[in-house]
Structure 1
Amino acid sequence: MTSQNVSLTVADLNDFPDFKKELQAAFAIAVIEEFGGLPDGPIPSDRDLDNSLHAPGAVPLRILCEGRNVGGAVVTIDEVTHHNTLDLFFLKVGENGQGLGHKAWLAIEARFPQTVSWQTHTPYFERRNIHFYVNKCGFKIIAFFNAHHPQQDHRSSDDSIGDEGFLFEKIMRE
């Protein structure tokens, strides 16, 4: 594999419809593998994505490889505490397995050097995500949400499969 240059750019409002479709297509793969199909509509729903894209502090990012769009992310940046979240992260269908996700994550870290900590979450069944966050990016699992330990600050969501999952944290500096 040749070295590929990965960079980030802020997603333009006009790009949001494509951004959402690409993200939903990428997320659908694991849902279909695990459950045999999608529930009523895409995961995450358009409403959930709109809420994430327009949330206070949200920064929607496009992931580029050699200038070509290969994915995206939505981070929420807290300019006061610098405890930030990775809300959404995806590579377009067909772009995974090339090291682009790890390079994109490193670019996100570099773009927000004041970050004290990052948190993110993933559904329990997303083994590839768990491997990626823990083994590739250096996150630690800090909680497992389920019926006996529900997520307290779970945002309003149409996501019917999102009740069980892991919360990850990466401490960047004390």
Structure 2
Amino acid sequence: MEVYGGLQFERFTEEDVDILTPVMKSAFDEDTQRHLNKPTGGPDGYDNGDFLRKYALNPASQAYKISKDDKPIGAVIVWIRENNVNFLGNIFIDPKLQDKGLGLIIWKFIESKYPDAVKWYTDTPGFSRRNHNFYVNKCGFKIVKIKNPRDKYNGTYILEKQMK
């Protein structure tokens, strides 16, 4: 286990799927409710553990369970490439703990954990203005492309962060 900014980071395991799927469902549903006025919604498998099994347990990814005061509150999944142009696949935290600076602590942990990164990429739903604010104004990403910009439900922002 590693501690950073008052949060605990542990490698994601199969046992974490059942613990964190309800947290992931809650986080994505909150975003969907806030921005689309729909009760539920998220990527395929976000609500039954399939997403976490597919991506967090993928041998090519590196994923961490995040805890605060020994209570699991979320996860982060990254893809580290040989050329050090890496991909941030997913960050989620319990909606009750959002807007308290924890997402930025998580991102700073990732930056410190992978200091050889040349560039980071990520993507996020076009409707999720809160995510845009987080990535651009808090973490220093820039929007480099918008896929399906007129599609409220399927639009995607592609972001990158050039490292020093």
Q: TM-score range by the shorter chain?
A: 0.7 to 0.9
What TM-score does the superposition give when structure 1 sets the normalisation length? 0.79
2:46 counterpart SS class: coil
* Distance in structure 1 (CA, Å) of the matches to 2:78 and 2:119: 12
Classify 1:44/1:103 alpha carbon distance in 2 versus 1 (closer, same or farther; 3 Å): same
Classify 1:94/1:31 alpha carbon distance in 2 versus 1 (closer, same or farther; 3 Å): same
Q: Displacement of 1:49 after TM fit?
A: 3.5
Q: Displacement of 1:52 after TM fit?
A: 1.4
The AA in structure 1 aligned to 2:158 is L
The AA in structure 2 aligned to 1:105 is W
* Structure 1: gaps of 5 or more residues: 149-160
Classify 1:146/1:82 alpha carbon distance in 2 versus 1 (closer, same or farther; 3 Å): same
Q: Which moved more, 1:27-36 or 1:81-90?
A: 27-36
Aligned residues: 158
Classify 1:42/1:52 alpha carbon distance in 2 versus 1 (closer, same or farther; 3 Å): closer
Q: Displacement of 1:93 after TM fit?
A: 2.4
Listed as ranges, the matches of 1:27-66 within 5 Å are: 27-33=28-34, 34-38=36-40, 44=46, 46-66=49-69
Is 2:135 the partner of 1:133?
yes
Is 2:163 the partner of 1:172?
yes
User: Relative contact order, CA 8 A, sep 6+: which one is greater?
Assistant: 1
Q: Displacement of 1:108 after TM fit?
A: 1.0
| CA-atom RMSD in angstroms | 2.6
What TM-score does the superposition give when structure 2 sets the normalisation length? 0.83
Classify 1:119/1:162 alpha carbon distance in 2 versus 1 (closer, same or farther; 3 Å): farther
Q: Per-residue CA shift, 1:69-124, capped at 9, x if unaligned? A: 2221111111x111111111011120112111111110111011111111111101
Runs of 4+ in 1 over 6 A off after TM superposition: 40-43
* Distance in structure 1 (CA, Å) of the matches to 2:100 and 2:54: 30
* Structure 2: gaps of 5 or more residues: none
Q: Per-residue CA shift, 1:5-38, capped at 9, x if unaligned? A: 1342212221112222211210111112314223
